[in-house]
Amino acid sequence: MIVSVLSPKGGCGKSTTTLMLATVFAENKDLSIAIVDADPRQSLARVWQSKRSEDTHGPLPFTVISDTSDSTILDTLDDAGERFDLVFVDLEGVAGLMASYAASSSDMCIIPMRPSALDGDAAGSALKMVRDAGRAARRDVKSYILITQTDAAIVTTSYKEVLAELDASGVNRFKTELMRRAPFERVMAEGRTIFELQKNVSVQRAINNAVQLGIEMADVMEASE
């Protein structure tokens, strides 16, 4: 199964979502998990991994594959789809051939968005792109919006408006949100997985949040089989 995490909006949480979901699913030792980093900035394959190699955390619980080329990504995804039970694809924050190819190879696309009008607009473009890519490939590619970086303490007007609009439009959305939590940022800074951070209340909350998202995603996958 291939799951692409995409949106043309920079900074909406694609790489963080990819890393969290791969980490959470890798807890199930019966599953083989890979991340394909298709973003030329290589947030996971280069930046995150280079921080990690300075550390002594032992082997990664998932495989990281790097491919940033339009001309090879379809082969890379076909191959990864054969070799691994679950493949997460992290994409650059632009609309383009790479994102369309990834979407057309995917069973599911996750579209992260912060609760803002601008992210909502970008998510709308991503939804259309995935629909078109699925049509072109004659394949049923499901899209799910994931609300990210919401503040656990404050419910803003913009948040309420964006959610009301989303739910009225009938698009699929994960009920679990990836809240704004410091540990989600620490994993990037430290090259660790969320389970490798020094345990405290805040880390445990972030773990619970990520696990909850994984459970909801697993339920959705099971329901669509």
Ligand X SMILES: Nc1ncnc2c1ncn2[C@@H]1O[C@H](COP(=O)(O)OP(=O)(O)OP(=O)(O)O)[C@@H](O)[C@H]1O
* Phi, psi angle pair for 169, to nearest 5°: -80, -15
Q: If binding is defined by CB under 5 A, does position 149 make contact with Mg ion? A: no
* Phi, psi angle pair for 96, to nearest 5°: 180, -175
* Residues 168 to 187 in contact with ligand X, rule: CB under 6 A: 178-181, 184-185
* Residues 185 to 224 in contact with Mg ion, rule: CB under 5 A: none
Among 11, 61, 124, 191, binds ligand X (CB under 6 A): 11
CB of 183 to ligand X, least distance (A): 8
Q: If binding is defined by CB under 6 A, does position 192 make contact with ligand X? A: no
**Binding-residue pattern over the window 30 to 69 for ligand X, x denoting contact by CB under 6 A:** ---------x---x--------------------------
The partner residues of 66 in beta bridges, in order of sequence, read: 37
138 φψ region: left (φ > 0), alpha (ψ -120 to 50), beta (else): left
Calculate helix-pair angle for 117-136, 157-169, nearest 10 degrees: 20
112-129 core/surface letters (b: 16 or more CB in 10 A; e: else): bbbbbeebbebbbebbeb
- Give me the half-sphere count of Cα atoms (radius 13 Å) on the Cβ side of residue 223: 8
Residue 193 binds which entry of Mg ion, ligand X, none, with Cβ cut-offs from 5 to 8 Å by kind?
A: none
- Distance, CA of 132 to CA of 82 (rounded, Å): 24
Residue 23 binds which entry of ligand X, Mg ion, none, with Cβ cut-offs from 5 to 8 Å by kind?
A: none
Residue number, 87 or 91, with CB nearest to ligand X? 91
Q: Is 104 exposed, middle or buried (0-12, 13-18, 19+ CB in 10 A)?
A: buried
Looking at 10-18, 109-117, 162-170, 184-192, which segment touches Mg ion (CB under 5 A)?
10-18
Q: If binding is defined by CB under 6 A, does position 205 make contact with ligand X? A: no
Q: Specify the amino acid at residue 201.
A: V
CB of 90 to Mg ion, least distance (A): 6
Interacting residues with ligand X (CB under 6 A) = 10-16, 39, 43, 93, 148-149, 178-181, 184-185, 188
